[in-house]
Amino acid sequence: MLFYLKVLRVYYRSVLSLTLPISALVLAAPLLMGTPLPSPLFLAVVQKMASFPALIYLIGQFRPQQYWLYRNLHLAPWQLWAGVIVLDTLLLSVAHRLLAFLVAL
């Protein structure tokens, strides 16, 4: 399990440049539209449903070589993405809390 988390940290860092802008957009959209901030779970589900299938597909098409290291570490792409979804949801929740706090000020 520790090894999986170590590898997941490396993989998440490699896709963070793609997931971070999407998370920022999802968080910023309600503020820009002047609507109340939805719950973090709702935002996470919307973000994952709307962007992750396309993201996973495009990475598989255009950067398939990135999986070789992880396959040599006995991990399938779905195992990496399952972890990324959990980590990204946690990150989104933290950012949501921070944003809600700042909005309330």
Partner 1 sequence: MPAKQHTLEADGIQVQFDNQNVLSGVYLRVQTGQVVALLGANGSGKSTLLQTVFGARVVPDASVRVDGYPVMPAYRQPGLMSYLPQTGLWPSGMALATAARLLGVSLVEALADFPTLQKQAVEGSTRAELSGGTGRLIQTLVLMARRSRFLLLDEPFSGVMPVHIEQLSSRLRAARVHSGILLTDHRYQPVLDVADVVYLLRHGRLQLLTEPRAELRDLGYLPD
Residues that bind partner 1 (CB under 8 A): 6-7, 10, 14, 65-69, 71-74, 76
CB closer to partner 1, 18 vs 31: 18
The minimum distance between CB 74 and partner 1, in angstroms, equals: 5
User: Which among 84, 98, 79, 85 is positioned nearest to 37, based on CA atoms?
Assistant: 98
CB closer to partner 1, 7 vs 22: 7
Please give the structure tokens belonging to residue 90.
């946690």
The minimum distance between CB 68 and partner 1, in angstroms, equals: 5
CB closer to partner 1, 10 vs 25: 10
The minimum distance between CB 89 and partner 1, in angstroms, equals: 25
How much of the chain is helix, strand and coil, in % rounded to 5? 90, 0, 10
